[in-house]
Chain A
Amino acid sequence: DGGITQSPKYLFRKEGQNVTLSCEQNLNHDAMYWYRQDPGQGLRLIYYSQIVNDFQKGDIAEGYSVSREKKESFPLTVTSAQKNPTAFYLCATADATNEKLFFGSGTQLSVL
Chain B
Amino acid sequence: LAKTTQPISMDSYEGQEVNITCSHNNIATNDYITWYQQFPSQGPRFIIQGYKTKVTNEVASLFIPADRKSSTLSLPRVSLSDTAVYYCLVGSYSGAGSYQLTFGKGTKLSVIP
Contact = CB atoms under 8 A, between A and B. Distances in A.
Interface string A80-112: 000000001010101001111111111010000
B99 A50 contact: yes
Interface residues of B, number: 26
Nearest to A97: B32
Provide the main secondary structure of the chain A interface: strand
Given A42-B87, A56-B96, A101-B89, A106 B42 contact: yes
A72 B103 CA distance: 23
Interface string B77-94: 000000001010101001
B32 A33 contact: no
A35 interface: yes
Nearest to B104: A42
Nearest to B6: A42
Contacts of A1: 43, 45
A1 B104 CA distance: 22
Contact of B49 (A94, A100, A105): A100
How many chain A residues sit at the interface, stated as a range, is 20 to 34
Interface of A: 1, 33, 35, 41-45, 48, 50, 56, 58-59, 88, 90, 92, 94, 97-106, 108
Given A42-B103, A56-B96, A103-B45, 18 more contacts: A33-B101, A41-B105, A42-B106, A45-B102, A45-B103, A48-B98, A48-B101, A56-B94, A56-B100, A58-B100, A99-B31, A99-B34, A99-B101, A100-B32, A100-B46, A101-B46, A101-B101, A103-B44
